[in-house]
Amino acid sequence: MTTRMGDRIRELRKRAGFTLERLAQASDSSKSYIWELENKNPPRPSAEKLAKIAMALDTTVDDLIGTDMPDEEISTEDKVFFRKYQGLSAEDKKKMRKMLDLWDDD
């Protein structure tokens, strides 16, 4: 029997059009490691690998492991956006905030 996390990884992998091998390459993992996460119960991923898998699947670790609450106000898409924002340079963050301010001046 698979776990919620294994099912979620498989679902997102397939939605992204990734094979096991493609997700393994994108997350710096092995194909067998991805297969084990999807099929072993319980899976035992490292935090580092899980973060790389989440990035490759354009989601969050919370979403993969099922800790997001269904009624939570912040969507997965917003969390991914914020993660990408956090990776921007200080100058790019400043530009992004300015664009949002201009957009909000309607």
What letters, b where the CB count within 10 A reaches 16 and e where it falls short, cover 5-36?
A: bbebbbebbeeeebebeebbebbebeeebbbe
Return mean pLDDT, the chain. 84
Residue 2 identity (one-letter amino acid):
T
- Structural domain span for residue 76: 71-106
Look at residue 68 in the predicted model and tell me its pLDDT. 52
49 lies in the same domain as 97: no
pLDDT digits (tens, 9 = 90+) for 44-83: 788 899 999 999 998 888 888 876 555 456 777 887 888 8
57 lies in the same domain as 77: no
Look at residue 26 in the predicted model and tell me its pLDDT. 95
The pTM for the full model equals 0.63
3 lies in the same domain as 30: yes
Residue 94 identity (one-letter amino acid):
K
Question: pLDDT confidence of 27, banded at 50, 70, 90?
Answer: very high
60 lies in the same domain as 92: no
